[in-house]
Structures are given as C-alpha cells and as structure tokens.
Amino acid sequence: MLVTDRLMNKRINFTLLLLMVFALSSCVMESEFSDNPQGNFEALWKIMDEHYCFFDEKGVDWNEVHTSYAKQIDAQMTESQLLEVLGNMLAEVKDGHVNLFTSFDMGRYWGFHEHYPANYSDTLINRYLGTDYRISNGYSYRILDDNIGYFRCPSFTGPIGAGNLDNILLFFQPCRALIIDLRQNGGGLISSAEELAGRFTNEEVLVGYMKHKTGRGHNDFSELRPQKLKPGSGVRWQKPVVVLTNRAVFSAANEFVKYMRCCPNVTVIGDKTGGGAGLPFSSELPSGWSVRFSACPMYNTEKESTENGIEPDIRVSLTKDDFLKNRDTIIEKARSFINGL
C-alpha cells in the first residue's frame, strides 16, 4: 500500500538547520603563520587541534603527531613534498572526511573502504539491471523477475526531487518488497538522504543525536541534541525494504542507513558501512590550500557514535563461487530474505 501526504512541508529538523548554519559559517583563515613549509605545517596542525572532533574516538595523540611530523618539515621542500607530509599527518586520524585541497592534488584517506573487500561488482549489477531498466535523475531501477523492486542509489550528491520519488515509488506499486542498493554511495547532501528516508515512515521518528564543537579544547562540545526524521510529502512506501551496504557507504549515505534502521519494515543486509558523519568545517592555510573535515559528531538512537560505521542486520559478503556464476551474493540474500517473510 502507498500513502500520499501533502501536509508535510519540512524535512530537516530545527537542530540540523541550526548546525548547518554553524558549519557554513565556520570557514576561517589562519593568518598568524607564514607562507612557508613550517608555517603551513603549524597552521594545519593548529586548525585540526582546535576544531577536529574525533581524536579520542580515533585513539590519536595529536601532540605526538606534531612531534613526529615536525621533524619531516624542511624549508627547501617542494609543494609536492609538503603535501605528502601534511597528507600523511592528516591520515593519522584515519578519517575519510579529512581532506587537504591544493591546485594540483588532494590529500585524502580512503582506507575506510580500500582496506576491506569491495563486496560490489559493476558487472554483476549490470546483470541484474539488464538493458531495459529505468533511469531517473541518476538513479537506476527495475522490477526483478520475482516481483521485487530494485532501486540503485549510487550517490546523494544532488537533490532527488519529490516528483522523481513519486514516479519511482508508483512504478514499484505492484511489487511486494523493495531493495535499495546503497553500495558504493559515498554520500553527498544530508538533505537528499533525509528526503529519501522520509518516504519510508508515516510519522516523525527519532533517528539519533548530534552535537557540535563549542570551544577549542578537544572535549569542548554541546549537549547531545535529537535528530528527528519527518515523513516525506508525496508517495510513501509501506511494504518491506532491504537496504544493501558495503564499506564504501559513507557520510550522508551512512546517515541514510541510520535513518532507515529507525523506519518500520526495514532490514540492512551486506557489510558494515564506512562511517563518516557530521557537517563540514573548512579552513585555509597561508598557502591558500584548504582543509575540510566534519565538525559535528553523530550518534544513533542508543547514543552510540556512527563515525566508524554501522553494522548490518544480516552480514553477507560476495563469494567467489557466486561471482563466477554471475550472481551477486548480497542481492540474492536480500531476495531470499524477502521471499521468506
């Protein structure tokens, strides 16, 4: 059964709006340091020291990191050499949201998924989609031969569109269940994740908590504030849903999984997500390079951090035998789970 509700005209709760304003206004310029290797190193270290949220959670002694990496700074080093050292320093926190941007490269840490099995194959996905699938605003979808809807959601980088969602869910109306394949979704707009998740609840539901930095100390945070998901306007889905995940599900996609676990008739199958949450903080070094990272820790309804990922309800990995048979183990597990309901 599908439900249409025209009364809901807000998707983002007050707390999230408040913190987004905070994040967007948090771009600062470090002007007290010189534009040389030492100055840029000290500026970056200080920005992280005063604004980064997860030192304790990551188990990182940032003062020890300073001592270690200060020895690698040389006045004659090239920009590429400096980026390598600064990038390695940032990688000590093992956070996929911590990025250093230059005009020629980007310092990054992608170990949250690169160090784990992919549990995903484009070749296999193409087999399930076939050639006559539908496409709407970058989302691919079709009805599988056992009357289960399959919705491929690769990104939240742009708005989904209420009309697009209405059309997609109406197309799935004859189906007895829906699979949302979120694997490889590296995130994007939290508002898009919330817009999609809002189509799977008929009432406002608590989905977790968040807090933000209130000072420059490592433990200077606000009190936890609730996050609530409101029902989306338009067509809403009432039947079983299975969300497929792997380690590359990150950032806003990680939040989507958190939201969906609070909605009725939803089961998460696959691998643990890659984590990453919060709204962005950005700052600039004397060189003009910019650094960006999350400044708002997120928590589930049990007040447990989701920074390091969310466990699935049913853990499944792709197997070699299934791959050789042109079968996606995770999709097939979702289908068998639905067929057993």
For position 167, which CATH number holds?
3.90.226.10
Counting every residue written for the chain, the total comes to 341
In a domain, 293, yes or no: no
Which one is predicted more confidently, 23 or 140? 140
The pLDDT of residue 136: 96
Domain co-membership, 169 together with 263: yes
Domain span including residue 52: 23-108
In a domain, 285, yes or no: no
In a domain, 284, yes or no: no
- Tell me the residue type at 60: V
Which one is predicted more confidently, 29 or 247? 247
The pLDDT of residue 31: 56
Domain co-membership, 90 together with 230: no
Contact status, residue 210 vs residue 227, Cβ threshold 8 Å: yes
Domain co-membership, 82 together with 200: no
The 10 Å CB-count burial string (b at 16+, else e) for 43-53 is: bbbbbbbbbbb
Question: In the predicted model, what is the mean pLDDT of residues 197-223?
Answer: 96
Share of the chain above pLDDT 90, in %: 87
Domain boundary residue, one of 52, 84, 108: 108
Domain co-membership, 271 together with 143: yes
For residue 282, the tally of other CB atoms under 10 A from its CB is 18
In a domain, 38, yes or no: yes
Split into its structural domains, the chain has a count of 2
Coil, helix or strand at residue 135: strand
Domain co-membership, 192 together with 96: no
Q: How confident is the model at residue 53 (pLDDT cuts 50, 70, 90)?
A: very high
Residue 207's Cβ-side half-sphere holds a number of Cα atoms within 13 Å equal to 31
In a domain, 286, yes or no: no
Helix intervals (H) in the chain: 14-24, 37-51, 55-58, 62-70, 79-91, 111-114, 122-129, 162-171, 190-197, 252-260, 320-324, 329-339
Domain co-membership, 33 together with 135: no
Phi and psi (nearest 5°) for 296?
-135, 100
pLDDT digits (tens, 9 = 90+) for 57-94: 899 999 999 999 999 999 999 999 999 999 999 999 99
Domain co-membership, 326 together with 194: yes
In a domain, 254, yes or no: yes
Domain boundary residue, one of 82, 108, 134: 108
Domain co-membership, 67 together with 165: no
In a domain, 288, yes or no: no
Domain co-membership, 213 together with 309: yes
Domain co-membership, 53 together with 81: yes
Longest CA–CA separation in the chain, Å: 68
CA dist list (Å): 92 to 85, 108, 155: 11, 11, 27
Element holding 249 (H helix, E strand): none
Domain co-membership, 88 together with 222: no
Conformation bin of residue 137: beta by default, left when phi > 0, alpha when psi is -120 to 50: left
In a domain, 77, yes or no: yes
The CATH code of the domain that includes 75 is: 3.30.750.44
Q: Per-residue pLDDT for 27 more than 80?
A: no
Average pLDDT of the residues of the chain? 91
Domain boundary residue, one of 85, 108, 131: 108
Domain co-membership, 224 together with 316: yes
The pLDDT of residue 8: 38
Q: Return the residue matching tokens 């990688």.
A: 91
